[in-house]
Chain A
Amino acid sequence: MASIDGALLDFKRLDRLATGDTAIHRLDPRAKVLATLVFVVTVVSFGKYEVTALVPFLLFPVAMVALGNLPVSYIIKKIALLCPFALVVGIFNPIFDREVLVQIGSLGITGGWLSFASIVMRSILTVGAAIVLVGVTGFPGVCLALERIGMPRVFAVQLLFLYRYIFVLTDEGSRMERARKLRAFGKKMQPGIFGSLVGHLLLRTWQRAERIHMAMLARGFTGEFHTRKDTEFGSREMLFLFGWSALFIILRFLNLSQLVGSLVTGISP
């Protein structure tokens, strides 16, 4: 069952990136979460046909990858694999929107291709930002940040529970599937078989949850996880958040690509 194991390994790898110890990793998670949100909102606020003004925004994920010491090829691979839905929907733009908007020499670029390129660019930026955020913060960090920003505690506990048991249960699920495969001689899984296999997994999960709950009660669980809060929102965090936000807002209203282009080519816009 290469696919489940592969997916799981991939998942664990992303999870482990957060154990890095760089200046970016050490920042308070709230600063990183908020900066990423500002980034995403700024990126999606551009007009439908904007492509060039989006390019400078690459600086944020690129800088985070570099400063956070994340593996470049892995991040690129992850971004490349993602967002099929946006691309499937976006590819219809060139078909429905044929008005030529940009003329470069004899080559006319239609609005559809322009907006498709914009969608691709947005996908890269937003997906990249999410992956990089997890890579430099880690899931518990993101949860902690969201809780301190105001997410309900029950939901935060729910997220942390889910995260802790994902690895246990996906391992268990993949073992069950591997066992079935070894006994099935290449026969594909029928929905009825799937029902009882997953049903079994569900029953085991349920029993496990009951055991976990009793064990937690025995240790004095009162409905919240106590985590060591060793970071606080200090001046470094302020600088990080407001520095990036200011840059995003400047880049939102100033097409840097256009400026650099006119500097290089000497053609004024």
Chain B
Amino acid sequence: MHMADALLSPAVGGTMWAVSAGTIAYCARKVRTDLDDSKVPLMGVLGAFIFAAQMINFSIPATGSSGHLGGGLLLSILLGPYAAFLTLASVLVIQALFFADGGLLALGCNIFNLGFFPAFIAYPFVYRRLIGAQQTRSRMTMAAIVAAVIGLQLGAFGVVLETVTSGLSSLPFSTFVVMMQPIHLAIGVVEGFVTAAVASFVYKARPELIQFSPEARSTGSRPVRGVLLAFLAIAVLTGGFVSWFASKDPDGLEWAIAKVTGKEELRAPAQGLLGTLAEVQQKTAVLPDYSFKKPGETGKDETQPAGQRKNAEGSRLGTSVSGVIGALVTLALALLIGFLLKKRQQAV
């Protein structure tokens, strides 16, 4: 599920951009220093493979619906977390640009939700642990399903947190969670099953491709902890910076409060991963309240103080009517300018 620009606030989007950019830089350095350079074309071509595989649909038994491969876990199994993260990020960049899945600002969120969780959480902490010393088909399937479910649950929860923190959707946090998590449970089971099917096919044909012993050492807790710590530091820093920046915005106190709340919330995914569920629950209670609150401006007119609209019913009617008419006229003007420019372009 791709996060969209339209649901994001700049503080949340900017923070996630910084976090994802930081992780990309870290992984790029890791790949350049640790891996042989034959991995680089391999990563690119495998990214294109994920693209092709996503276009092939399969039918999900007993439901009549169809699904497609997500690929995060499969890439991690094939390439290890760092290269897999870069590859997934590049696939998401293409999707954002060509299919506008989400958009440019949401790219940071999407890379984090769909890349970080499978590559740095689900793969090292779940898949590798479960698969143990010898790979058998049933073990592989089981590990892949559990890892895919956990990765997607975290990703879906990330989408919920980012949306609710941005405050553009009026969906209460609890309702949103109840909507998103079960859907992604089902998607996760299918993803895990298909990942295992592809991985075990490859394992049968060319077992050396599915890396195993060197990976088991290098993905121990140390480098992953490094990534997590770096991510946390970046999140806190940029969260603080962006919200400080945003609070200078003259849009009013409410906006600033929203940004500060945004910063608080952004720490939550990281801490939630470390198990502070109680804190998340506390936020659950606060957030719907916040998203129901109206900002000081009604959105119709920024220059008008909030209090004034209570008593000036007539002027508010005027404001909204002229706002709507003005919007229509502006729309027409924008289109007319476009039309004229196009005419000129063709004449030239």
* Contacting residues, chain A, for B38 (C-beta < 8 A): 210, 213
* Contacting residues, chain B, for A72 (C-beta < 8 A): 342
| Contact A83/B326 with A69-B342, A93-B170, A102-B300 known, Cβ cut-off 8 Å | no
Whether B253 sits at the interface, judged by CB under 8 Å, is: no
| Contact A154/B197 with A62-B337, A66-B342 known, Cβ cut-off 8 Å | no
Query: Are B40 and A161 neighbours in the complex by a CB distance under 8 Å?
Result: yes
Return the chain B residue nearest A194 by Cβ. B58
Whether B329 sits at the interface, judged by CB under 8 Å, is: yes
Other-chain contact of A92, B105, B169, B322, B340 (Cβ < 8 Å): B169
Other-chain contact of B7, A89, A111, A192 (Cβ < 8 Å): A89
User: Using a Cβ cutoff of 8 Å, how many contacts connect chains A and B?
Assistant: 419
Count, chain B residues at interface, CB 8 A:
125
Whether A250 sits at the interface, judged by CB under 8 Å, is: no
Other-chain contact of B44, A165, A202, A269 (Cβ < 8 Å): A165
Other-chain contact of A191, B7, B58, B302, B341 (Cβ < 8 Å): B58
Return the chain A residue nearest B180 by Cβ. A89
Whether B315 sits at the interface, judged by CB under 8 Å, is: yes
Other-chain contact of B322, A206, A208, A267 (Cβ < 8 Å): A267
* Contacting residues, chain A, for B53 (C-beta < 8 A): 173, 198, 201-202
Other-chain contact of A212, B8, B41, B86, B196 (Cβ < 8 Å): B41
Query: Are A63 and B104 neighbours in the complex by a CB distance under 8 Å?
Result: no
Whether B60 sits at the interface, judged by CB under 8 Å, is: yes
- Bound form: Cα–Cα A161–B295 in Å: 46
Return the chain A residue nearest B49 by Cβ. A205
Whether B303 sits at the interface, judged by CB under 8 Å, is: yes
Query: Are B331 and A58 neighbours in the complex by a CB distance under 8 Å?
Result: yes
Whether B304 sits at the interface, judged by CB under 8 Å, is: yes
* Contacting residues, chain B, for A177 (C-beta < 8 A): 56
* Contacting residues, chain A, for B198 (C-beta < 8 A): 194-195, 198-199, 202
Whether A259 sits at the interface, judged by CB under 8 Å, is: yes
Q: Tell me the minimal C-beta distance from B306 to chain A in angstroms.
A: 11
* Contacting residues, chain B, for A144 (C-beta < 8 A): none
Whether B256 sits at the interface, judged by CB under 8 Å, is: no
Q: Tell me the minimal C-beta distance from B68 to chain A in angstroms.
A: 9
| Stretch with Cβ within 8 A of B (4 or more), from A43-51, A227-235, A238-246 | A43-51
* Contacting residues, chain A, for B45 (C-beta < 8 A): 161-162, 165, 169, 205-206, 208-209, 212
Other-chain contact of B327, A49, A51, A93 (Cβ < 8 Å): A51
- Bound form: Cα–Cα A174–B96 in Å: 22
- A80-123 CB contact bits vs B (8 Å, 1 = yes)? 00110110011011011101011111000101101100111011
| Contact A160/B44 with A56-B330, A191-B61 known, Cβ cut-off 8 Å | yes
Query: Are A86 and B299 neighbours in the complex by a CB distance under 8 Å?
Result: no
- Bound form: Cα–Cα A103–B310 in Å: 12
Query: Are B319 and A258 neighbours in the complex by a CB distance under 8 Å?
Result: yes
Query: Are B48 and A169 neighbours in the complex by a CB distance under 8 Å?
Result: yes
Centre residue among A3, A52, A78, A209 by max chain B CB count within 10 A: A52
Other-chain contact of B317, A83, A104, A129, A160 (Cβ < 8 Å): A104
- Bound form: Cα–Cα A141–B1 in Å: 28
Return the chain B residue nearest A215 by Cβ. B41
Q: Tell me the minimal C-beta distance from A253 to chain B in angstroms.
A: 7
Q: Which of B4-60 contact A (CB under 8 A)?
A: 4-10, 13-14, 21, 24-25, 28-29, 31-32, 37-38, 40-49, 51-53, 55-60
Whether B230 sits at the interface, judged by CB under 8 Å, is: no
- Bound form: Cα–Cα A204–B5 in Å: 36
Q: Tell me the minimal C-beta distance from A81 to chain B in angstroms.
A: 9
| Contact A55/B52 with A44-B10, A66-B342, A212-B45 known, Cβ cut-off 8 Å | no
* B positions within 8 Å CB-CB of A: 1-10, 13-14, 21, 24-25, 28-29, 31-32, 37-38, 40-49, 51-53, 55-61, 66, 69, 78, 86-87, 89-91, 93-94, 96-105, 163, 167-172, 175-176, 190, 193-194, 196-198, 200-202, 205-206, 209, 249-251, 255, 292, 294-295, 297-304, 313, 315-327, 329-331, 333-335, 337-342, 345-346
- Interchain residue pairs with CB less than 8 A apart (17): A40-B104, A67-B341, A104-B317, A122-B6, A126-B6, A157-B40, A162-B94, A166-B94, A174-B55, A189-B59, A190-B59, A202-B198, A253-B250, A257-B326, A260-B330, A261-B325, A264-B326
Q: Which 6 A-B pairs have the closest CB atoms?
A: A161-B44, A261-B326, A195-B197, A49-B299, A199-B201, A261-B322
* A positions within 8 Å CB-CB of B: 3-4, 7-8, 11, 14-15, 22, 36-37, 40-41, 43-45, 47-53, 55-56, 58-59, 62-63, 65-67, 69, 72, 78-79, 82-83, 85-86, 89-90, 92-93, 95-97, 99, 101-105, 109, 111-112, 114-115, 118-120, 122-123, 126-127, 129-131, 133-134, 139, 142, 151-155, 157-166, 168-170, 172-174, 176-177, 188-203, 205-206, 208-210, 212-213, 216, 223, 253, 255-265, 267-269
